């Protein structure tokens, strides 16, 4: 008899973990943008010689809360990988979840270095460590997204179409907060909003590529192989362009007028290609999956 409640399926657990990771990403951006990453007297894992700082909204608390959220999310990520090994999941699902766990220590190490100046590692608060922290976080988020998608079972034309819609909405919404488009001041809150929407668009593109690849290999009702291949190509291009905007959303380069134009071009390309993928996918008839989910529920 299983102690797991019936409503707690793998897809829901993995999706919740992916959502926690997205929130952690936004918290990390907000923490860095407010300068709170330099709080806690550049200590890690302690914060200003305390395990838990005063529960008031100040830089110490913001940095500590980010760390606490990261710790909980880390355990959930480990749980996702463990579930894939204990259940009857295919190799690609296990691989994605396991890789997320394997690079988790790297992310923790880089994060610890990032929040130290003269503490654990002299000069830790640098552009290179921030770039590494951001890149590894994006890798973990992508792997968790793939584990959620693959672990839920076979896709369908309807899921492919839904994924393209999420991609378009996320990319367009990110433009509202992007530093490349002067709709709003690129404040710490706007930066967090940019990454929430941008990562949602990224996840939609990841799902689009995953479902389109499956459609090319094994077919979906109402989706030809050529249509699926076109959707995959457009979504992959959009994903690459969106990643550029996500990297340029942080101060990883001297943000000159040239970089601002490059950021704008990448954003426009991402939106156009995502919209193209959604348009091509409109021919899908939304048929039901051809087989039962793979060990997920």
Q: What is the pLDDT of residue 122?
A: 55
Q: Tens of pLDDT along 104-163?
A: 999 888 877 777 654 455 555 577 777 888 899 999 999 999 999 999 888 889 999 999
One-character DSSP codes across 177-208:
H-TTSTTS---HHHHHHHHHHHHHHHHHHHHH
Of 89 and 3, the structure prediction assigns the larger pLDDT to 89
Phi, psi of 223 (to 5 degrees): -125, 115
Which residue's entry shows tokens 């100046």?
117
Residue 77 has what pLDDT? 96
Give the residue extent of every domain in the chain: 8-152, 154-285
pLDDT at 285: 52
**Exposure class string for 7-28: b at 16+ Cβ within 10 A, else e:** eebbbebbbebbbbbbbbbbbb
Q: Regarding predicted confidence, which is higher, 241 or 43?
A: 241
Cβ atoms of residues 224 and 236 within 8 Å: no
99, pLDDT greater than 80? yes
Mean pLDDT of 30-52: 77
Contacts of 159 (CB under 8 A, 6+ apart): 207, 211, 289
Give tens-digit pLDDT for 48-77: 777 778 777 788 888 889 889 999 999 999
Q: Residue 168: what pLDDT?
A: 97
Each residue's pLDDT tens digit, 205-218: 999 999 999 999 98
In this prediction, residue 295 carries a pLDDT of 45
Span 178-198, mean pLDDT? 92
Q: 99 in helix, strand or coil? A: helix
Instruction: Write down the pLDDT at residue 3.
Output: 67
What CATH number does the domain located at 154-285 have? 1.20.120
Query: How many other C-beta atoms can be found within 10 angstroms of the C-beta atom of residue 287?
Result: 14
pLDDT digit string (tens) for 220-268? Answer: 888 899 999 999 999 999 999 999 999 999 888 888 899 999 999 999 9
Q: What is the signed CA dihedral for 17, 23, 28, 33, rounded to 10 degrees?
A: 170
pTM as predicted:
0.88
Asked whether 237 and 274 are in contact (CB, 8 A), the reply is: no
- Among 208, 186, 207, smallest CA distance to 195 is for 186
Q: Please tell me the distance from the alpha carbon of residue 92 to that of residue 103, in angstroms, as a whole number.
A: 17
Residue 230: what pLDDT? 95
pLDDT higher than threshold 50 for residue 287: no
Higher pLDDT, 273 or 1: 273
């Amino acid at each position: 008899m299983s102690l797991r409640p019936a409503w707690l399926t793998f897809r829901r657990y993995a999706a919740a973990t992916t959502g926690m990771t997205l929130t952690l990403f936004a918290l990390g951006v907000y923490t860095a943008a407010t300068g709170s990453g330099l709080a806690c007297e550049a200590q890690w894992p302690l914060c200003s010689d305390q395990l838990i700082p005063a529960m008031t909204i100040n830089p110490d608390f913001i940095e500590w809360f980010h760390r606490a959220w990261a710790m909980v999310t880390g355990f959930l990520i480990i749980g996702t990988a463990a579930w894939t090994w204990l259940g009857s999941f295919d190799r690609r699902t296990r691989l994605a979840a396991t890789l997320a766990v394997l690079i988790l220590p790297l992310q923790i190490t880089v994060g610890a270095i990032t929040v130290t100046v003269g503490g654990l590692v002299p000069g830790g608060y640098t552009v290179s460590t921030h770039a590494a922290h951001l890149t590894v976080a994006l890798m973990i988020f992508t792997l968790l997204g793939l584990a959620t998608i693959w672990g839920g079972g076979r896709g369908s034309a309807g899921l492919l179409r839904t994924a393209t819609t999420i991609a378009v909405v996320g990319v367009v919404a990110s433009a509202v907060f992007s530093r490349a488009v002067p709709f709003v001041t690129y404040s710490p809150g706007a930066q967090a909003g940019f990454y929430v929407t941008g990562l949602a668009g990224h996840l939609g593109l990841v799902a689009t590529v995953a479902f389109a690849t499956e459609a090319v290999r094994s077919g979906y009702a109402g989706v030809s192989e050529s249509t699926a291949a076109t959707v995959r190509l457009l979504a992959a291009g959009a994903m690459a362009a969106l990643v550029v905007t996500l990297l340029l959303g942080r101060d990883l380069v001297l943000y000159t007028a040239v970089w601002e134009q490059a950021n704008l071009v990448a954003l426009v390309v991402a939106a156009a290609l995502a919209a193209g993928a959604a348009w091509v996918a409109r021919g899908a008839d939304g048929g039901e999956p051809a087989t039962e989910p793979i060990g997920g529920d």
